[in-house]
Structure 1
Amino acid sequence: MAKVQSALLIAAVIFLVSMLGVSGAEKPAAGKSRYKVTGTVYCDVCRAKFVTRVAERMPGAKVKLECLNTTNEKVTYSLEGETDKNGMYHLEAEGDHDEDEICGVKPVKSPKEDCSEVIKDMWAKEFTRVTLTANNGLVTDTRKVNPILFLKTKPIAVCAEVFKELHYIPGENVHP
């Protein structure tokens, strides 16, 4: 009987200590949050508006992380960056941007003249969304962003083969 009581006491102590850790981790102190925002920029050589096997990573592309107030749409935070030799960007964002803000990364400038068009149609978003808050269940401070694309002026020759492999017909309304 004493062994059962000891085991229950130990379990209760472990539970209480773990709850203290969880309650202390709810929200970091203001101004203390830092997030590593990473993503890749591609030249969409097929003008598919999604990454294909022939899409080219773009070293030297400029991107901007912006957070906007959801009420008045004013910029509350802004940070610019550039892709490395692998076409990847790594931004160090500061602050916790939660309910009242929406954050995202958008293309700013392409290093290639023949691949500098930004997608602007009904399916494209103004920027690729990223969550910069500790109040969302994510346990890591790294935020991975969906790919950003610049469109090539004219598709390259292999694109017809790529589309055939994907059973994709450009120009068809493939969205619901």
Structure 2
Amino acid sequence: MARSSVPLIAVLCVSLLPLAAMAVGTPFLVEGRVYCDTCRFGFETIATKYIIGATVRIVCKDGVTLKQEVVGEAVTGGLGTYSIAVTGDRHDQQCQAELVKSSMHDCHVADPGRSTATVILTRSNGAASTRHFANAMGYLRDQPLPGCAALRKLYLSDGDARAI
């Protein structure tokens, strides 16, 4: 009986070592995208433009003291993507990616329904990866692009949006 458990223990040690090492000091990596809602629909469409040069930050709020702390900030690169390294396990803190500033002069008002994205930054929930993806966040264009009315009509008709 003892003899058959030795291989099992060895396998468990080898497979759990990387998880233990990851938990010690590897930062979380939060990734996401920032877009301009060119039609002011409240969601991404085929007319959406992704914003290069937008500023995003990660803010965590303690569940007991309600104290907020900015734990990371980044500027979007190509395709409107950002990547923020956050050190330390945030345990039961409530963390969110937040829009800070748009680089587009005609698309700089944050969409109230898409200006934040919740991110869970703890290892106590059994997550094996330190890489986390936040929902896309968006700004509203000052004036909708020409053609947005036709796009809305197409979306409402369940038509093929790729035809536009």
Q: Where on the TM-score scale, by shorter chain, does this alignment land: which range? A: 0.7 to 0.9
Q: What's the offset of the Cα at 1:98?
A: 1.6
Give the partner amino acid of 2:60: C
Question: Aligned pair in 2 of structure 1 residues 107, 126: CA closer, same or farther (>3 Å)?
Answer: closer
CA RMSD, Structure 1 to Structure 2 (Å):
2.4
Runs of 5+ consecutive residues of structure 2 not aligned to the other structure: 158-164
Please state if 1:104 is matched with 2:99. no
Instruction: For 1:25-64, list aligned pairs within 5 A.
Output: 25=19, 28-29=23-24, 32-64=25-57
Q: Would you identify which runs of 4 or more consecutive aligned residues in structure 1 move more than 4 Å?
A: 21-24
Q: 2:105 aligns with which of 92, 98, 113?
A: 113
Quote how far apart the aligned CAs of 1:93 are. Answer: 1.0
Q: Aligned residue for 1:163?
A: 152
Aligned residue for 2:153, secondary structure, equals helix
1:49-68 Cα shifts (integer Å, max 9, x gaps): 11111110000001111111
Larger-gyration structure (1/2): 1
Which AA in structure 2 matches 1:54? Answer: A
Q: Please show how residues 75-154 of structure 1 align to structure 2 within 5 Å.
A: 75-99=68-92, 101-120=93-112, 124=113, 127-154=116-143
Q: Is the 8 A contact 2:114 2:137 kept in 1?
A: no
Kindly tell me: are residues 126 and 140 of structure 1, through their superposed partners in 2, closer, same or farther at Cα, counting changes over 3 Å? same
In the superposition, the TM-score normalised over structure 2's length comes to 0.82
Q: Is the 8 A contact 2:30 2:134 kept in 1?
A: yes
More helix by percentage:
2
Q: Could you tell me which amino acid in structure 1 is paired with residue 149 of structure 2?
A: A
Shift of 1:96: 0.4
Q: 1:71 aligns with which of 58, 64, 71?
A: 64
Aligned length: 155
Of the structure 1 ranges 155-164 and 49-58, higher mean CA displacement relative to structure 2 is found in 155-164
Which runs of no fewer than 5 residues in structure 1 stay unpaired?
Answer: 169-176
CA contact (8 A) 2:27 2:88 kept: yes
**Percent pairwise identity:** 25
